[in-house]
Amino acid sequence: MFVVLSLSFNLLISCSSSPKEKVSQKTDIVVKDVIPKLYSVPVDTPDYVLSIEKYRDSLDKNLTTLKVKKIDVFGSSAEGGEIDIYTKRADTLKLRAVYYGETGKREYQIYLLSQAPVYLREKLSSYKSPIGKTPVKIESIIIKDFVLKDGMVLFGKKGKEVISTEAYRQKSIDISNLYKEVILAEKNL
C-alpha cells in the first residue's frame, strides 16, 4: 500500500555524473517509503510517533500549497466557530476547527492520512474574564497532542508530560466524534 502525497517543493538532487553539480527540480513528494512503515504490524510506537510528527511538520510547512475551504459553524458553540479544510486534489490532509465560548476557545487540528485521522492537536485557551469585557486576556493555554493508528490513540501528551494510557480509549471515541462532526459540517454546506 502506498499513498502519494502531492505537496510540491523544490528538491535538490545530486547528479551522478558530477558530485558538485546539483539540479533544482520541481517534484511531488512520494511517501511510498513512509506509508508502509506506518501501517505495518507490529507497531514500533516511537518510530511510528516520530513518522507521524514528521508528516505533521511537513504539512504545516507546506500549507500555502494546499487549497483551503473555510466554513462558519455558528451555533455549534456559545460564540460560534470556524472550520478550515486543507486539501490537495481530492485528498483532505488537515482539518482545523475553532470553537469560541464566553470563557475561552478550543482549537483542534486534525491531520489525515488516507482520509483517516493520524494526529490531533487540541488547544484550550481560557480567558481571565468572559467575552465582552475588553480587552480579552488569556489566563491559560493547555495543549494536548495525540497520535492515532487505525482510529485508536497510540500516544498522547500534555505539553511534555505523557498522558496515561487509561485515557486513550475515551479520547479515541472523542476524536472520532469530532472528526465526524467536522466532516458533517462540510457536507451540510
pLDDT per residue as tens digits for the range 154-183: 999 999 999 988 889 999 999 999 888 888
> For position 79, what pLDDT does the model report?
75
Q: Which domain holds residue 139?
A: 44-187
Q: Is residue 23 part of a domain?
A: no
Q: Is residue 160 part of a domain?
A: yes
Examine the pLDDT at 117 and tell me if it is beyond 50: yes
Cβ contact 123:141 at 8 Å: yes
Q: Is residue 27 part of a domain?
A: no
What element of type H or E holds 4? strand 4-14
Collapsing DSSP to helix, strand or coil, 3 comes out as: coil
Total number of domains constituting the chain: 1
pLDDT per residue as tens digits for the range 72-85: 887 655 678 899 99
Collapsing DSSP to helix, strand or coil, 133 comes out as: coil
Q: Is residue 10 part of a domain?
A: no
d(CA 102, CA 107): 14
73 closest CA partner among 81, 62, 65, 63: 81
Q: Is residue 29 part of a domain?
A: no
Q: Is residue 78 part of a domain?
A: yes
pTM passes above 0.85: no
